[in-house]
Chain A
Amino acid sequence: MEVSKKLSAYLTKLNTIRTTAIKSVKSESPTVKTFTLEDDICSKANPGQFLMLRIPGIDEIPLSILNAGEGQVQFSVKAVGDATRHLHNLTTGDLLGLRGPFGTSFTETRGRVLLIGGGTGTAPLLFLAKRLAAKVDRLSFVIGAKTKNELLYLTELDAVCTDESAIATTEDGSYGLQCLATEPLEKLVDKQKFNMIYTCGPEKMVKSIFNFAEKRKIAMEASLERLIRCGIGLCGSCMIGKYRVCRDGPVFTMARLSEVKDELGMSKLGFDGSRIEV
């Protein structure tokens, strides 16, 4: 009862919207911008957690946290729809609403770790990599995008890798290796045993990494994406198997990924609750 009351008060506080002015905006690529906001509660977020961002009068969307600390929180947004395009037009001083941070975070491991990010899915992994960099023996990072323009955080990634640099892949070959982000995986793992693979990105990519990790018996954690409405595990919009991505996820362990593998990369719930292709 005591624990439960504490959880209740804690969640009520997290879930209360804080409306705050944008502190700064930075362009990461032609389609991605990073926003910095001041928020004490979100500044305590752990890598993998997400926040709900209210764009007043427009929408409220879930976003992975890119960085948190010292009273501030950062997230990157790709302009893909009405809400995100509107957000890209906002600037320092404009008001946004925040609630969260919500959900599970990546488990910190030691030894040798491999991080594989696809597109904006790289954001929570960079946050994690910064936390892990000084504590692990090896940190390798593979980042993939369709084209050179969309490769994010390259300088920062090089700085946190223990390898010479991050391995960049592009589908069109305009930078780094011309292949999917999953392709360098086999070579890396053949050369050296990794203690953990962390990934976030398009779900087909996550699925193929999961299949690989399962076959090679390597521990893995992945951050998944679904339609998120309430963010607090109530509305059921983000179910995968028996799990709520907003509450039991977004970070899923290998064991949980195994439980939901029939849906992983295959189906999700749409806005009307019907099953649609991922």
Chain B
Amino acid sequence: MNNNLLTVNIAGLKLQNPTALASGILGYTGDSFKFVEESGAGAIVTKSVGVSPRVGYSNPTVVQAKSGLINAVGLPNPGINEYTEELKYAKSVLKVPLIVSVFGYTSEEYALVAVKAAEAGADAVELNVSCPHVKYTGSEIGQNPKLLTDVVCAVKSAVQKPVIVKLSPNVTDIVELGKAAVKAGADALTVINTVRALAIDVETQEPILSNVRGGLSGPAIKPIAVRCVYDIFEALPKTPIFGCGGVSDWRDALEFFLAGASAVQVGTAIAFEEPAVFEAINKGVTAYLKRKGYGSVKEIVGLSHQA
């Protein structure tokens, strides 16, 4: 959807509407990105890509919980060298910003992948420092202010494109990590990644996921994500935020905007509402803005803090 009410600018990225495909979802191929764009998304975030190919974990990698999904897919990706061609193709077919999610085991690896992604046409990179189920990367970096600072600094000094940092909720104080990321140069934050979780089969009496632990997404985590966005906005009012976690309809999106997010990322809802969820959110938000008399979605960002 394209109307003036919905356009937003996040760290220099111009989005026609404030919805984006969250990382990890349908995120390998240019054709799938194009399909999501046609379904109404205002930006695309790819699956996380690293230096070398990874096959991920064996199944089960996704398990249904009562109001969400628990996943431990294990960062399968072809490695940035192999992936470059697909990124170039994606860039050639997409009109909306292409954000490449990047992970590594060292700050040098993050920087290397980010540089190659930028060369392939990425409009921005999102640093995955919050995957809760792969050792020596993801949240093991994002939970540690020192390591997080090193990674963000390394990437910032290597690429000119906007650098977005995706934060983990699996920390004592998400604000401390948000501040560290911004101090190190992060241009925007994505709040939040999945919440560490586990499911057990009572008949076989064992954990269901092959990796045992995974990350919870979907409606179950939305109130946690809204609280995290609220906390981050309060401490860092000038830093643009992608709200992420359980966004399933326009009311959910509005909660995130009012808490302080400039845009939202949508993932799990694509399974339960179909990709048409983007268009539905944009329609609902437009109607809300008109009904309340606003000229732009930008006017309501963080508005709940004035109450």
Contacts and interface: CB of A to CB of B under 8 A. Distances in A.
Interface residues of A, number: 40
A233 interface: yes
B64 interface: yes
Interface stretch (A130-138, A213-221, A236-244): A236-244
A234 B26 contact: yes
A242 B32 contact: yes
B55 A230 contact: no
B289 to A, nearest CB: 18
B159 to A, nearest CB: 23
B203 to A, nearest CB: 4
A241 B28 CA distance: 11
Interface in B203-235: 203-204, 206, 208, 210
B91 to A, nearest CB: 17
A15 B204 contact: no
A274 interface: yes
Q: Is chain B's interface secondary structure helix, strand, loop, or mixed overall?
A: loop
Contacts of A242: 31-32, 34-35
Nearest to B280: A4
Interface string A96-120: 0101000000000000000000000
Contacts of B71: 230, 235
Contacts of B31: 239, 241-242
A234 B270 contact: yes
A225 to B, nearest CB: 15
B29 A229 contact: no
Interface in A230-278: 230-237, 239, 241-242, 244, 269-275
A158 B268 CA distance: 45
B237 interface: no
A59 interface: yes
Q: Which 3 A-B pairs have the closest CB atoms?
A: A274-B78, A60-B59, A271-B55
Interface of B: 24-29, 31-32, 34-35, 47, 53-56, 58-64, 66, 69, 71, 73, 76-79, 82-83, 86, 201-204, 206, 208, 210, 248-249, 267-268, 270-274, 277, 280
Given A60-B61, A231-B62, 17 more contacts: A1-B249, A4-B273, A11-B271, A15-B64, A17-B64, A17-B208, A54-B60, A59-B58, A60-B59, A95-B203, A229-B56, A230-B71, A232-B271, A234-B69, A234-B267, A239-B31, A274-B78
